[in-house]
Copies of this chain bind each other. A is one copy, B any other.
Amino acid sequence: MDAEDRLRPDFVEKVLDAVHDGDAETARGLVKPLHPADVADLIELARADEREGLVAALAELVDAEVLAELNEHVREILISEMAPERVAEIAGELDTDDAVAIIEDLEEDDQRAVLRAMEPDDRAAIEEALTYGEETAGRLMQRDLIAVPTHWNVGQVIDYLRSERELADDFWEVFVVSPSHHPVGTCKLSTILRSPRATSVADIMAVEQTLIPVDMDQEDVALRFQKYALVSAAVIDASGRLVGMITVDDIVHIIQAEASEDVLLLSGAGEGDINEPVLDSYKARVRWLIANLLTALLASTIIRLFEGSIERLAILAALMPIVAGVGGNAGTQTLAVTVRALATNQLTGSNRWRAVGREMRVALMNGLTVASLVGIAVTLILGSGQLGGVIAAAMLFNVLIAGFAGVLVPLTMERWGADPAVASSIFVTMVTDSMGFLLFLGLATAVGLTG
């Protein structure tokens, strides 16, 4: 293990060499001390063609926990090679949320075969979870939770916890419910431990609760956990009854995934997982490149309007990409800031216009700086103050337009209910490219530079 908790390459090599030599004993000996998350990393780090052999050699060390930790693309392949009974057995050992994560990715036929092979209880829980939409609280929640009636005291809660052998171990709070199973309060375990046995739970429970509707989008669940520093939260159905619990360890992955998604969406890289099949990556990215090609063709028609000017003064062709490129960059900066502020709920209807004003001020300062620099550089290098003035003016306006588009395009997308990270950058680049060429070539032609 290196300083950043990554498996060292020579360790990975050693395990794979042992597997290759048919020495499963040694491989298992090396892997045995590892945490399931590290075993999962090891499988991911192996080449696709080595994985089957590795998993076979490790045998029972690749357990339910390891599969739950595994990257979904890698897992999908491993699971597709397993018998439905084995998958059912694995899913039975996991919390509902982890079992659902494994089963939801299966083809419909395989899904049915696995469900048929499961214990009726587990099967019912998973089938219910699958009725909720993907990426909602219903898929994330686990059904194993501790709910106690309001009239109990601390002693009763402790006795109940001690006597029930079948309870899950991963809970951090106890939910207090009404007779109709509506949550009325939450007790941290630390509060229960610190209160005398005779204390009524109703007296020590926190009444202000953060109840998660079962159909809430997982991104909103994650933001709520983050905002209110939650460790676990009750999930309720449409009638307000307690149906499950979400714990922070499942949320941490989502926060990471949702934030990554923005980087990847902004650059048009789709899901952007390095374990994704090449063909899926191709499909996700090529759409974006084709969209980019179309906007570039559009920008090129603007250039064609000025073909005569370029024939007379070819230096214009060398300078015009500078105006478009720096403008595009300024637009991307504003876009990134706006998309993140929207995603983290920092930008709302209350401060929308202030954010636009703020970005325009930054754009003005940036524009003036970059325009002066490029103006001076062109004047000195090419010895034409007029050309320097034209490129400076075009640059200033293009950076201003970039700032305006960079903040307004994602805000508009958000208002229309679209994901602001998805198509914003295509629009913004289209604007900065087209306007960059138009401003520069248009101004140069208008001031008579091209004779």
A447 on the B face (CB < 8 A): no
The verdict on A346 contacting B274 (CB below 8 Å), with A193-B161, A248-B231, A321-B324 known, is yes
Do A189 and B189 have beta carbons less than 8 Å apart?
Answer: yes
A251 on the B face (CB < 8 A): yes
1/0 per residue A1-12: CB within 8 Å of B? 001111111001
Contact of A325 among B226, B296, B347 (CB under 8 A): B296
Do B259 and A255 have beta carbons less than 8 Å apart?
Answer: yes
Q: Which residues of B contact A126 (CB under 8 A)?
A: none
Nearest chain B residue, comparing its CB with the CB of A267: B336
A335 to B338, CA, bound (A): 21
A44 to B351, CA, bound (A): 9
A384 on the B face (CB < 8 A): no
List residues of A (371-410) whose CB comes within 8 Å of B's CBs: 373-374, 377, 399
1/0 per residue A181-211: CB within 8 Å of B? 0000000111111111000000000001000
A125 to B359, CA, bound (A): 40
The verdict on A362 contacting B262 (CB below 8 Å), with A329-B292, A333-B268 known, is no
A272 on the B face (CB < 8 A): yes
A322 to B289, CA, bound (A): 11
Q: Which residues of B contact A286 (CB under 8 A)?
A: 365-366, 369-370
Nearest chain B residue, comparing its CB with the CB of A223: B5
1/0 per residue A337-354: CB within 8 Å of B? 111110011111111001
Do A285 and B190 have beta carbons less than 8 Å apart?
Answer: no
Copies in the complex: 2
Q: Within the complex, what minimum Cβ distance (angstroms) separates A308 from chain B?
A: 8
List residues of A (35-82) whose CB comes within 8 Å of B's CBs: 35, 37, 41, 44-45, 47, 71
Q: Number of A residues whose C-beta is below 8 Å from B?
A: 134
Nearest chain B residue, comparing its CB with the CB of A162: B194
A288 on the B face (CB < 8 A): yes
A370 to B341, CA, bound (A): 33
Q: Which residues of B contact A449 (CB under 8 A)?
A: none
Do A288 and B333 have beta carbons less than 8 Å apart?
Answer: yes
Q: Within the complex, what minimum Cβ distance (angstroms) separates A254 from chain B?
A: 10
Contact of A272 among B37, B169, B285, B340 (CB under 8 A): B340
A96 on the B face (CB < 8 A): no
A266 on the B face (CB < 8 A): yes
Do A322 and B297 have beta carbons less than 8 Å apart?
Answer: yes
List residues of A (297-325) whose CB comes within 8 Å of B's CBs: 297, 299-301, 303-304, 307-308, 310-311, 314-322, 324-325
Nearest chain B residue, comparing its CB with the CB of A299: B321
A171 on the B face (CB < 8 A): yes
Contact of A285 among B6, B220, B362 (CB under 8 A): B362
Do A252 and B266 have beta carbons less than 8 Å apart?
Answer: no
A225 on the B face (CB < 8 A): yes
Q: Which residues of B contact A292 (CB under 8 A)?
A: 325-326, 329
Contact of A161 among B6, B194, B362 (CB under 8 A): B194
List residues of A (416-451) whose CB comes within 8 Å of B's CBs: 429, 433, 437
Nearest chain B residue, comparing its CB with the CB of A163: B194
A residues with a Cβ closer than 8 A to B are: 3-9, 12-13, 35, 37, 41, 44-45, 47, 71, 158, 161-162, 167, 169-172, 188-196, 208, 220, 223-231, 248-249, 251-253, 255-256, 259-260, 262-264, 266-269, 272-275, 278-279, 281-282, 285-286, 288-290, 292-293, 296-297, 299-301, 303-304, 307-308, 310-311, 314-322, 324-326, 329-330, 332-341, 344-351, 354-355, 358, 361-362, 365-366, 369-370, 373-374, 377, 399, 429, 433, 437
A-B contact pairs, 16 of them (CB 8 A): A45-B348, A172-B190, A231-B248, A252-B252, A255-B255, A264-B340, A267-B332, A272-B340, A274-B346, A281-B358, A290-B369, A296-B325, A297-B377, A304-B318, A311-B311, A317-B317
